[in-house]
Amino acid sequence: MPKDISIQAYLNNYKSLPLIDVRSPGEFVKGHIPTAVNIPLFTNDERAHVGTVYKQESQEAAIELGYKYVTPKLQWFIDESLITAPDKKIVIHCWRGGMRSHAFAQHLKDNGFTEVYVIDKGYKAYRHEALNNFDKGELLLLGGYTGSGKTHILHELVKQDQQVLDLEELASHKGSAFGNIGMDRQPTTEQFENNLYWEWHQLNMDEPIWVEDESPNIGDVNIPMHLFQKMRQSPVFFIEISQEERAKLLVKEYAKGDKTKLVRGINRISKRLGNDITKKALQLLEDDDFYQVALLTLRYYDKYYKRGIEKRDTDQIHYISMDDTNATENALTLIRTLDEQYAGI
């Protein structure tokens, strides 16, 4: 018989085994456990049909229809599962650990799979963890005005054996009107939450975790409420770098990209820039004066960020002046500052 395991047991002890998600393709695309492979018991249309029969007729009629759809695929289930788990050790889940996952698991067990596990309460259990399980761990927020190179600093902190949760990388967005430039398509909010918790669960909760200071949303995805509340209660290490230096970095990062995307970014913030500044920025962009464009937009972003940081607990904010955007040096400065804070200096 397949063995039921909790989501905690899976994450702690069975995560190295291949994971099969037997939900429909539509369910899988909306959100899934990272590393899962979709081998759907039903297509989207088949699932909808079975659900309709269940509601309008009976559970027995729905089960009978389900068997009609599944029976021709039985060998395909085995073949696909063997591709995913050639050593015949596997974990299965559906939406809530019900009939779909147990039927699929028993079929594999009956056909030579030696270790077959089913996640109790299924994908729903993982979603509960992904939205609520952020009580442990100490966060250190990296703050700073736009163009400070915070993402580059986070990468350097990783090289210095610091723990980092890179929210913008997981969200595939840099968190501004220009944040989608040079990034892959954003995941759904549900998938972002799933990916984020997958990374979170692998961190050592006895050591601090660096996270970039963010608003509740990054592009079109939202940070889980429990994590965002934790972020708002955490200390901020706010790096201060001149607009001139930050503008230089923005030119390096954006000037080589698609100019039409820069135009769209400027138009997104046109109401806040004002009509005259917007026209000036667009003309400068047309003239390829990227540096002046960066300076104009930074004036808007700096005001916006300043209003936000002034609402925070001043005792939780540590301002650190830095000469330029050298990410390696700035990461080392942050580590030294952190060491001083822990030393009580």
- Write down the domain spans for the chain: 3-130, 137-342
- Give pLDDT, residue 242: 96
Model pLDDT, residue 180: 60
CATH number of 3-130: 3.40.250.10
pLDDT confidence of residue 288: 87
pLDDT at 297: 86
d(CA 37, CA 33): 9
Scored b (16 or more CB within 10 A) or e, 281-296 reads: bbebbeeeebebbbbb
| Three-class SS state of 239 | strand
The average confidence (pLDDT) of the chain is 91
Cα–Cα distance measured from residue 186 to residue 322, given in angstroms and rounded to the nearest whole number: 32
The total number of residues written for the chain in this structure: 345
- Local structure of residue 141 (DSSP, 8 states): E
Distance (Å, whole) CA 117 – CA 109: 10
CA distance linking residue 83 with residue 81, whole number of Å? 5
The whole-number pLDDT of residue 178 equals 60
What one-character-per-residue DSSP string does 307-322 give? HHHHTS-GGGEEEEE-
Per the CB < 8 A criterion, the answer to whether 43 and 156 are in contact is no
- Nearest partner of 207 among 137, 107, 299, 284, judged by Cα: 137
Active site residues: 94
pLDDT at site 262: 85
List the structure tokens of 335.
């580590």
Give the C-alpha separation, 278 to 283, whole Å.
9
Question: 3-state SS of 62-75?
Answer: HHHHHHHHHHHHHH
- Is 80 exceeded by the pLDDT of residue 309? yes
What burial letters (b/e) apply to 13-28, b meaning 16+ CB within 10 Å? ebbebbbbbbbbeebb
| For residues 308-319, average pLDDT | 86
Burial class (CB in 10 A: 0-12, 13-18, 19+), 307: exposed
Q: Is the pLDDT score of 280 beyond 90? A: no
Phi then psi for 209, rounded to 5 degrees?
-125, 120
Helix (H, G, I), strand (E, B) or coil at 143: strand
pLDDT value of residue 345: 45
Report whether 264 contacts 270 (CB < 8 A): no
| pLDDT tens digits, one per residue of 219-241 | 889 999 999 999 999 999 999 99
Question: How many CB atoms within 10 Å of residue 192?
Answer: 25
Cα(11)–Cα(16) distance, integer angstroms = 9
The pLDDT of 63-87, averaged and rounded, is 95
At 105 the three-state DSSP class reads helix
Domain 137-342 has CATH 3.40.50: yes
pLDDT tens track for 160-205: 999 999 999 999 877 665 656 656 789 999 999 999 999 999 999 9
Q: What is the pTM of this model?
A: 0.88
Domains 3-130 and 137-342 share a fold: no
